[in-house]
Structure 1
């Protein structure tokens, strides 16, 4: 069988730990019966041999498989990764979600997506990442009583994502340490109002409102100071005509949305301006986690 989970862009400007969206870049794993346990890895992370030996997917898969099954079978796991690691595109969430989904699918047990989402919450307590990974689309999410509450909006095909991946990562752990311990009431109201406006803009498809609505005072400027070039990426993307441009997750990737007719030109301008960064266009993913037997 094949299990695939999309990349995600979380935090989304003022939507700190709340807003997330799924991109059509996938991590996939093909699982086959085998006489002995084996792992192969292609794509992102394939040049890191330690990932085969210290594999988070295998650990989480075994946690669930050993609880769900009385059998002790061996499998061959073939990973095909498109999601860059430690770049703010939800690679950890993709691993967590695919591991849980795989364990249930191996045993032929139906796993509704809402249950999958809440099982993943035990490993990733930020719902802005795991919700779009499971559900696809744009999501507003929060956690209440150890359960993810969310509303999803499918993304139209006439919009594209433009992704700029710098040539070095920003540590999520260190990135969190750069954030203020306290925020002023003015900054809190600023972010609350802009996050609400951004959500409304997505839900009503008022795309021209995204540029103003995506402004933030909670996290982006603090994290971007670790890599000052990111201020130029954001400025250049908006100047070229992007509808919005925000730090993806905790960085270092930058995520922009544009009309399909503008996306190629914006991509070209960003490639010329930032030749050492990886720049590309991708669609949005409205399906989320998928199991194909």
Structure 2
């Protein structure tokens, strides 16, 4: 079987820990019966010996598989990773979602996406990455009584993502420590109003509103100061025609949305200006996690 999970971009500016969107690049795990346990890894992280055994995936998979199955079986896990590690594109969420989905699929137990999402919540307490990873599309999500409550909106094909991946990470844990302990009333109102406007813009497909609606005062500037060139990436993306440009999750990736016809120009400008960063254009994923036999 093959389990595919898309990359995700969380926060989208003002939607701190609340808004997320699924992006076209993906991680795949192919699982085959085997006479003994084995793991192979291709793509992102393949040169990192620590990740060769993909310990996070196997730990979560084994937790569920051992509870669901009475059989002792061995598998070959083949990981094909497109999602950059520790760059704010939801690589951890992809691992969590694929591990849980794999354990259920191997046992032939039907698992709804809603249940999968809520099982993933035990490993990722914020719903902004795991929700689009499971559901695809743009998602507004919150947690109520240990359950994710969400609304999804599919992204039309004439919109694409222009993604800039720096050559070094920003630690999620460390970047959270840079954030203020308290926020002013004015900043709270600013983010509440812009997050609401951003959600409304997605739901009504008012794409011209995204540039204004995606402004933030809660986290972006504090995190981007750890890598000051990100301010210039954001500025150049918007100047070149991006509809919005925000820090992806806690970074270091800078994520922009553009009309398909404008994307090539934006990508070319960013590649020329930032040759040491990886720049690419990709579609959005409206499907989320996918299991194929």
Matched with 1:117 is 117
| 1:116 counterpart SS class | helix
Deviation, 1:51, is 1.2
Q: Deviations over 1:258-280 (max 9, x none)?
A: 00110001100110011110000
Matched with 1:39 is 39
The answer for unaligned runs of 5 or more in structure 2 is none
2:209 counterpart of 1:212? no
- C-alpha separation in 1, matches of 2:58 and 2:86: 19
- C-alpha separation in 1, matches of 2:157 and 2:53: 40
| 1:160 counterpart SS class | strand
Matched with 2:51 is 51
- Map 1:211-230; keep pairs closer than 5 Å: 211-230=211-230
Q: Deviations over 1:9-68 (max 9, x none)?
A: 001100000000000111000000000000000000000111124610000000000000
2:187 counterpart of 1:202? no
Matched with 1:179 is 179
Matched with 1:133 is 133
| 1:142 counterpart SS class | strand
- C-alpha separation in 2, matches of 1:92 and 1:218: 23
- C-alpha separation in 2, matches of 1:237 and 1:47: 31
- C-alpha separation in 1, matches of 2:59 and 2:25: 23
| 1:276 counterpart SS class | coil
Deviation, 1:165, is 0.4
| 1:218 counterpart SS class | coil
- C-alpha separation in 1, matches of 2:96 and 2:25: 16
Matched with 1:146 is 146
State the aligned residue count.
293
- C-alpha separation in 2, matches of 1:235 and 1:126: 28
Matched with 1:7 is 7
- C-alpha separation in 2, matches of 1:162 and 1:54: 28
Matched with 1:17 is 17
| 1:129 counterpart SS class | helix
Matched with 1:268 is 268
- C-alpha separation in 1, matches of 2:158 and 2:237: 18
| 1:266 counterpart SS class | helix
- C-alpha separation in 1, matches of 2:171 and 2:15: 20
- C-alpha separation in 2, matches of 1:53 and 1:244: 38
- C-alpha separation in 2, matches of 1:40 and 1:166: 26
TM-score (normalised: structure 2): 0.99
| 1:182 counterpart SS class | coil
Question: CA RMSD for the aligned pairs?
Answer: 0.5
Matched with 1:101 is 101
Matched with 1:237 is 237
- C-alpha separation in 1, matches of 2:72 and 2:135: 31
Q: Deviations over 1:154-200 (max 9, x none)?
A: 00000010000011000000000000000000000000000000000
| 2:52 counterpart SS class | helix
- Map 1:187-198; keep pairs closer than 5 Å: 187-198=187-198
- C-alpha separation in 1, matches of 2:264 and 2:67: 48
TM-score (normalised: structure 1): 0.99
- Map 1:57-72; keep pairs closer than 5 Å: 57-72=57-72
- C-alpha separation in 1, matches of 2:104 and 2:21: 25
- C-alpha separation in 2, matches of 1:276 and 1:66: 44
Matched with 1:282 is 282
- C-alpha separation in 2, matches of 1:72 and 1:95: 23
The answer for unaligned runs of 5 or more in structure 1 is none
Q: Which contiguous aligned blocks of 4+ residues in structure 1 show a shift greater than 2 angstroms?
A: none
